[in-house]
Structure 1
Amino acid sequence: MNHHRCPAAHPDDPTVCGGPVVVSVLDAQNAGADGCEHHGARLLASLDGGRVYPLPDAPPGASIRVFTAAAGIRPFCWLDGPRTDPSRLSRAENHTESGR
């Protein structure tokens, strides 16, 4: 069984890749990793000030799908524990909380 995963997959994230490597995710200092849409979204959700760009051979809409998915994913979503601090909630959850 091949357990090779894309460079965007965090070592502690147990999930498998969701397809080919199609996006590059960069942090605020422009360090980054290329990844599948699944791990790209999970990585982007865990970064403050992160950005996503499609790779040259990415299917249309790949970076938009990653960006949209990341908004609903909690940072480091594979970790257990209470999620009450805004830094531990997804962008969508924080937006909902601030709108009340």
Structure 2
Amino acid sequence: MTATTRCPAAHPDDPTPCDGPAVVTVLDQYNAGADGCEHHGARLLASLERGRVYTLPHAPVGTAVRVFTAADSIPPFVWYEGAPRTQPSQRSRAENRRMGVTA
């Protein structure tokens, strides 16, 4: 991605830059999806209920696993830094597990 172009998985309100080329496809529960770099793929996946991630053909082995693992510790819509994180749907999956919250 260039400095002015970001991957399709980058949310318009997320100010962070891409960390490389698009290497994964992130799908929601209805199979709508976006290709993205590892960074934005993880952030998008963390913001979806029942989302899935798949490695694109040219990506290194293990890319989808890295994105899936990273998404586990990212709260939904992490770019909204002032957002409350008091409800299970507002916290990362890892944080909910630590707190004993089940979905």
Q: What TM bracket, shorter-length normalisation?
A: over 0.9
Which deviations, in whole Å up to 9, do the C-alpha atoms of 1:45-100 show, x marking residues without a partner? 0000000000000111100000000000000001122210100000000111117x
**What is the aligned partner in structure 2 of residue 87 from structure 1?**
89
Cα distance in 1 between the residues matched to 2:68 and 2:4: 26
**What is the aligned partner in structure 2 of residue 70 from structure 1?**
71
Cα distance in 2 between the residues matched to 1:63 and 1:82: 29
**TM-score between the two structures when normalised by the length of structure 2:** 0.92
Instruction: State the Cα RMSD in Å.
Output: 1.2
- What SS is found at the alignment partner of 1:98? coil
**TM-score between the two structures when normalised by the length of structure 1:** 0.95
Which deviations, in whole Å up to 9, do the C-alpha atoms of 1:25-52 show, x marking residues without a partner? 0000000000000000000000000000
**What is the aligned partner in structure 2 of residue 10 from structure 1?**
11
- What SS is found at the alignment partner of 2:68? helix
Which runs of 5 or more structure 1 residues have no equivalent in the other structure? Answer: none
Cα distance in 2 between the residues matched to 1:46 and 1:82: 15
Question: Which amino acid letter does the alignment assign opposite residue 97 of structure 2?
Answer: H
4+ residue segments displaced more than 3 Å: none
After superposition, where does 1:28-43 map in structure 2 within 5 Å?
A: 28-43=29-44
Deviation at 1:3, TM superposition (A): 1.7
Cα distance in 2 between the residues matched to 1:2 and 1:18: 11
Which runs of 5 or more structure 2 residues have no equivalent in the other structure? Answer: none
Question: Which amino acid letter does the alignment assign opposite residue 70 of structure 1?
Answer: A
- What SS is found at the alignment partner of 2:17? coil
Identity rate, percent: 67
